[in-house]
Every structure is written in C-alpha cells, then in structure tokens.
C-alpha cells in the first residue's frame, strides 16, 4: 500500500466503482480481457472460471477490499454483479 493511502477511502464505493475495480482483479486472476468482465458476466459460463479459479478470485478480492468472504457466502454467487454486491455488503458491515 502506498504511503498516505487510507483503507477507508475504498469503503464508500458505488457498485459501478466496485465492478470497475473487480474488472482489473478478475482480468488478472482469470486471464481474461477486462472488457469481458461486466456486472452480468457469469463466472463459469462467461469467464471460464473453475472452482479453483474462484478460490483465487475470493482471496484477491479479500485482499483488495480488506474484507473476509466465507465459503457459504460465495457459494451462491454466479455473476460479477452478485460478487460486487457481496463486497459492498461486507464493506458496509465493516465500516
């Protein structure tokens, strides 16, 4: 983390901002084009993510957003938008 960067700055992000941040993370973790990562993109069908990929994605999102996501919470998540909503709910709970 860069000097002077405050984690709180990331706490009040809109859904669009979270999805934009997730684009970079998912493109990197899944090796897909960032423009394929949309709120409606499905992890398995659209982004070719298997269960191991999803574990890596969860770890990356936890680190990026400073949150914790349990296996139970991620189990029902099928799209990037649903994951963004989960991230936002976790940030709201923390902040």
Residues designated as active site: 50
Which secondary structure element, helix H or strand E, spans residue 27, and what is its range?
Answer: helix 15-30
Structure tokens at 65: 């957003």
Structure tokens at 48: 């070719």
75: left (phi over 0), alpha (psi -120 to 50) or beta: alpha
Structure tokens at 92: 């709201």
Contact 54/43 with Cβ under 8 angstroms? yes
């Amino acid at each position: 983390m860069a000097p002077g960067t405050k984690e709180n700055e990331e706490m009040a992000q809109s859904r669009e901002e979270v999805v934009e941040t997730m684009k970079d993370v998912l493109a990197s973790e899944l090796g897909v084009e960032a423009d394929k990562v949309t709120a409606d993109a499905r992890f398995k069908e659209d982004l070719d993510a298997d269960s191991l990929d999803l574990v890596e994605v969860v770890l990356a999102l936890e680190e990026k957003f400073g949150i914790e996501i349990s296996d139970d919470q991620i189990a029902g998540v099928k799209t990037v938008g649903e994951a963004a909503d989960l991230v936002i709910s976790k940030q709201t709970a923390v902040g």
